[in-house]
Amino acid sequence: MRVIFAGTPEFARSALAALHAAGHDIVGVFTQPDRPAGRGMKLQASVVKQLALQYGLPVVQPQSLKLDGKYPDDAKLAKEFTDAAQADVMVVAAYGLILPQWVLDAPRHGCLNIHASLLPRWRGAAPIHRAIEAGDTQTGVTIMQMDAGLDTGDMLLAETCAISAQDTTASLHDKLAEMGAHLIVKALEQVGQFKPEKQALEGVTYAHKIEKAEAAIDWTQTAQVLAQRVRAFDPFPGMTIRWGGEVIKVWQAHVQTPARIEDIQKKPGTLLAVREDGLQVACGEGVLCLTQLQNAGGKRLPVADFVRSFKGQVGDVFQS
């Protein structure tokens, strides 16, 4: 099929590679403009752009696709390219721009989205993070016929994936990226033969974008919720605690059975134990054991190494 691909991060890169390997005629790739990155803040192309150039595919990087928006010239050029491409379908995976109606209508079979959840649960920008944060035990990938709403289109294909107790956003991302790549190739084999399924009106949840402000640990929350958030926010933004004027990132933690009954009644944030197998901290409910941490400017350390330079003592209180 003649395909326009739209995507930006690693999740989308996997899908582009799969479509190319399957032999589809990828007539153009839309991706976000180059952004400053790294210590030198040099402009860096998205991983999708890098792969597209490797394949020798034409790349389009509009600031916006709205013809009446802030960048109408960008949108006009994108429309001229899209009209000329005469694509059968557009495949969209974590592109990062809202598609206006002219884009949705341009390909013969419309636009198909690879969404990393089982819709209608976790519509929106961060479905992988929010599924782990909520304690879900199952998620998956949905191939959806896009419409003007936010992930509200008819479902075409779906596949489920278990969320293990050890999964972080990083590990679950990789599983779902591979699943999405496989599923979109399967979907293009069936274009024109689908019986689209309307999304249920019940069970709708929204996966709001992850903000850096969410990183700070609130010790008044339960240990279970905090353990889920630690996994959900790995690799970004990482959960943080403040100690001695420094910010420490927490990368691994689990719920700990309290050693003493009186620990249950300690003020949230109280350091209950400093051990080589974990820093135990009282929460609003339960005890959280921190097992991998990172000092500012340092690297991730197992707690056995971290405690060698940590000056905290039992009874100290981390601030929320």
| pLDDT confidence band for 40 (50 / 70 / 90) | confident
> Amino acid letter at 23?
G
Q: Mean pLDDT over all residues of the chain?
A: 95
Is 4's pLDDT higher than 90? yes
The phi, psi pair for 89, rounded to 5°, reads -155, 150
Question: Of the ranges 101-115, 124-138, 235-249, which one carries the lowest mean pLDDT score?
Answer: 235-249
Give the whole-angstrom CA distance, residue 149 versus residue 87.
Answer: 22
| pLDDT confidence band for 304 (50 / 70 / 90) | very high
Summarize the confidence of residues 223-239 as an average pLDDT.
97
- Domains of the chain: which residue ranges? 2-207, 213-306
- What's the half-sphere exposure (Cβ side, CA atoms, 13 Å) at 165? 4
Q: Tell me the per-residue pLDDT of 96-117, one tens digit each, with 9 for 90 and over.
A: 999 999 999 999 999 999 999 9
Task: Report pLDDT for 295.
Answer: 94
CATH of domain 213-306: 3.10.25.10
CATH value of 2-207 in 3.40.50.920, 3.40.50.300, 3.40.50.170, 3.40.228.10: 3.40.50.170
Beta strands (DSSP E) in the chain are 2-7, 25-30, 35-37, 42-44, 59-60, 89-93, 111-115, 123-124, 138-145, 155-162, 206-207, 239-243, 246-256, 271-275, 278-282, 287-294, 301-302
Those residues whose C-beta lies under 8 Å from the C-beta of residue 80, and which sit 6 or more positions away, are: none
Give the whole-angstrom CA distance, residue 37 versus residue 92.
Answer: 24
DSSP 222: B
Is 232's pLDDT higher than 90? yes
* Alpha carbon of residue 93 to chain centroid: 12
Task: Report pLDDT for 37.
Answer: 84
Question: Of the ranges 27-36, 125-134, 207-216, 252-261, which one carries the lowest mean pLDDT score?
Answer: 252-261
Residues in the chain, overall count: 320
